[in-house]
Structure 1
Amino acid sequence: MEQCIPSKYMAIHDFKKRLPSDSVKYLTWHELEEHDVQGNQIRCPRVREGPSEEERFFRGEHHTLCARKKLTENEKWEQRLQENWENCVSLNLSYQDLGDLYQVENCKRILRRLIRVERLWLVDNSLTDLSAICLPRCKELKLSRNHFTSFKQLPKLPAIQHLSLDENNIETLHGLCALRHTPLESLVLQRNPCEFHDNYRQLVFSNLPNLKMLDGILKLPEDCPPPETNFMSKICTIL
């Protein structure tokens, strides 16, 4: 027997599906009309792309299709200039909810343009591999709560000073030496499997001679590995 649903509940359900703001819910900040805000003027822009027109059609979200129009090549170039990622110095792109591949690729497209960024937050974005990205001027990078499993998946960071990788899935310290010739002073690796390795702190500091702080704790005397005993001294000890 079919369940009878009162009409008032149907109306509430339909209202929730079609709020007045639904027509713009998939738009990014630079697609809104009648403003000239550039990417380097905002700290926490929404850059996550919405689903394709085909996917929205199958979802029954026909009322959102009119929100986007086909852009001419000139309009695409103007939009690129408006994004202006090349002049960003400080940027927070955290919590973008990058659940689909095309959203991840769009995020990487933006990262490749951040040639002047010095402070960048990418927290909780389900990122797995940024090895093809170079952030030449980045001094502070926060990659907490992502899905990195190796240091080899990190972007190239020649100027990095403060790096946060807590709550990822990095199992070994292999590849850590890639950061050896950087000015890295502070590193956070808490809540990664590699944190439970024997002599964890000694291994990290031995690989990173410039490092001053690990997981919020300054370098301690016991964090320095003991000097290696040479062969001749071993012979003398035996005698």
Structure 2
Amino acid sequence: MQQQQQQQQHAMSESSSGLNTSCFRFCTSQSSPCSDLSNLDICLPVLTSRNRVIHQPSCDSGIASPLPSDSFKYLTWHELQEHDVQGSQIHCPRVREGPSEEERFLRGEHHTLFARKHVTEKEKWEKRLQEDWENCVNLNLSYQDLGDMYQLENCKRILRRLIRVKRLWLLDNSLTDLSAICLPRCKELKLSKNHFTSFRQLPKIPEICHLALDENNIETLDGLSTLKCTPLESLMLKRNPCEFQENYRKLVFSKLPNLKVLDGIPKLPEDCLPPDTNFLFKICTIL
């Protein structure tokens, strides 16, 4: 009789939860079955990209790994089906690519591998039209986490196509050199929190008006004169080693006569003086 009641309770638990409780192996100690999670083995179903349910082994935390969303973590936005969103309509896209199939195999990420058909030239052209980077005007590509070279190269590929962008943010991307990039219509560019060491590593920005380079590693003002022919009005150089250079503000304004604001502070009367204002005191007076 007692055995029949236990079987009925077991069947009720299966129907109410929707999960097969035979996948749960609880500890057999005298304490509560939920008191020791280290002895709990849970097998949860995982939905793959092909809508197939598989059972993954559990990890030490008791949560099945990998999660169902892991199979989509390297999927780019333009590979999603049944949508017509273009790159010029997205203000903060993720542009970095995932690793190759060989790299994912070496990393042990077999669950992220999916069969890819041969891409035809027509499909490549349709993808290029869907990205539509040439018509982007305002774009935020910050925090892309460009940890691998192929991700960085893909980001640069997109930057080369931004021929009409006017406002571009590239914060905290570990960028070091964009000298091969040309942004002919860019008026506002934010390169804060990157790894630039020289003004010569900046992209070609002939129409720039507002430039942010704070929190980089620029040590000297060499190459700053390359921005002299641009309509640059405001410049941010805070938290760069060159900020501690003697007569820092005077040197910057002398190299950029059209500059109006430096590090958020408007041009002051004393900033208009030449860098070496003490030359009169260095003249020897012969009596």
- Alignment TM-score > 0.5, same fold: yes
Which range moves more in the overlay, 33-42 or 15-24?
15-24
Residue 198 (structure 1) shift: 0.2
By relative contact order (CA 8 Å, sep 6+), the higher-ranking structure is 1
Aligned to 2:144: 96
Q: Could you tell me how far apart the structure 2 residues matched to 1:151 and 1:58 are?
A: 39
Task: From 7, 13, 24, give the equivalent of 2:72.
Answer: 24
For 2:200 and 2:89, locate their aligned partners in 1 and report how far apart those are by CA, in whole Å: 32
User: Where in structure 2 are there 5+ consecutive unaligned residues?
Assistant: 1-37, 43-56, 278-282
> RMSD of the TM alignment (CA)?
2.3
The structure whose Rg is larger is: 2
Tell me what 1:168 maps to. Answer: 216
Give 2:102's match in structure 1, choosing from 41, 54, 62: 54
Residue 153 of structure 2 is aligned with which of 81, 91, 105?
A: 105
Q: Does structure 1 retain, via aligned residues, the 8 Å contact 2:251–2:275? A: no
Residue pairs, 1:24-43, within 5 angstroms = 24-43=72-91
Partner of 1:223: 271
- Aligned to 2:189, what secondary structure does the other structure show? strand
Alignment partner of 1:126 out of 159, 171, 174: 174
Higher helix share: 1
Structure 1 residue 12: deviation in Å?
4.7
Counterpart residue number, 1:180: 228
Give the corresponding residue for 2:41: 8
> What amino acid maps onto 1:55 in structure 2?
E
**Which runs of 5 or more residues in structure 1 are unaligned?**
230-234
In the alignment, which residue of structure 2 is the partner of 1:232?
A: none
Aligned-pair CA distance for 1:69: 4.2
TM-superposed CA distance for 1:200, in Å, is 0.2
Whether 2:173 is the aligned partner of 1:140: answer no
Task: Give the TM-score, by structure 2 length.
Answer: 0.75
Shift of 1:166: 0.4
| 1:151–1:176 contact (8 Å) kept in structure 2 | yes
2:240 is aligned with 1:192: yes
What CA distance in whole angstroms lies between the structure 1 residues aligned with 2:274 and 2:226?
Answer: 23
Q: Which amino acid aligns with 1:219?
A: K
| Aligned partner of residue 257 in structure 2, secondary structure | coil
Q: Do 2:260 and 2:267's aligned partners in 1 also have CA atoms closer than 8 Å?
A: yes
How many residue pairs match? The answer is: 230
Tell me the TM-score normalized by structure 1.
0.90
